[in-house]
Each structure stands twice: as C-alpha cells, then as structure tokens.
Structure 1
C-alpha cells in the first residue's frame, strides 16, 4: 500500500452482517505522529519511552493475545511480554527511529430493527 493510502474496509465492514446492523457514516484513514516519541525527543528518557510503547501495545492487543492464558491470573505472561518488549525497544533506540500511528477512523450508526 502506498504511504498515506487508505486501505479498503475489511470484509467485516462490507459484509451482510455489518450492513444489517449499522450504517457507515464516516470512514477516514489518518497518519499520526507518535506522541511517545515526541516526548522521548524532548527529554531523552529511553526507559520511559520503552515502557510507554510496551504498555500501549499491551493495552491495544493484550486482551486478544493473552486470552488463551486466562488461567494466568497474576498476569505473569503478560507482564513478562511487556517487560521483554520494553527491553527490545530500549535496545533499538534511537536507531529504530519514530513510528507512525496509522488509524482507520469509523463512525457508524446502529440501525433500529
């Protein structure tokens, strides 16, 4: 996909089930600067940046990544994953450079019925 190009909506958005329940009002693709990297650029705190990147990744993807480990009630697996990810981010700074956030914004209205 070309930089800045808007990916087409996934099959879940164009499928019959979605169309029966929702009307898609707005769809746009935006590229945002990484706010954590902006803070890192200002203060140079590699540890804080690495922790923030790891925490945001776990917040976004952790529930699906760790759902199978529901028996791990103390969060050991998720905690070790987050610590390992933060360590890898620290090791690669600043050579890894800045990330861009690519966000698909969707606004839908639930249909009555």
Structure 2
C-alpha cells in the first residue's frame, strides 16, 4: 500500500499499480461528462468517494492527479457541484491528516 510501507520499491510498485488503475478509469470515462454519459449515475456514485483520497495519493505518491488524469479531475469537479456529493464527501486535506495520524500510530516510516 502506498502509505503503509517505508520500502521505496514497495511504494513505487504501489504507486505504479494505483496509476494504472486510474488510467483505466480515465479511459472508461473518455470524453463523457459522467460514466453513464450525460447523466450522473450509479457508477459515478460508486467512484466519487475516491476523490477524497486524491490529495493523499498525490502527497504520498509524489505525483499530480491534474497532470496524470485531467479528465478524472474534471469529472470529480463536476460531481462535486452536486450538493448531494459535496455535502457527503470528506475534505481531501482532512483525509490526508487522518492518514498521516494512522501512519504515526502504526509506526510506518
């Protein structure tokens, strides 16, 4: 896992795997506004919670979602314009803080 190891090779392998997964998701999204096309649907509802972890993945993986996955970031921003989504998701920076606290408690350095 990207944040659960101090071993550089393990972290790089985790980062590579994570990037490959998000490449698939971005490819499936394509140029559509939502995964179901023009309508916010079940797949969007299932995937948007991961947006709360984008900042954490960036910080711990040392990469940029905006640079690597611009379509996913645009999709996430569209989803966040929906009140039901924006009121439901955790703040990305708070998620990062919690992950850092968990790392300390688990003594992952």
**Structure 1 length normalisation: TM-score?**
0.24
Quick check: which has more Rg, 1 or 2?
Answer: 1
Task: Pick the structure with more strand per residue.
Answer: 1
Task: Pick the structure with more helix per residue.
Answer: 2
Greater relative contact order structure (CA < 8 Å, 6+ sep)? 1
**Structure 2 length normalisation: TM-score?**
0.25
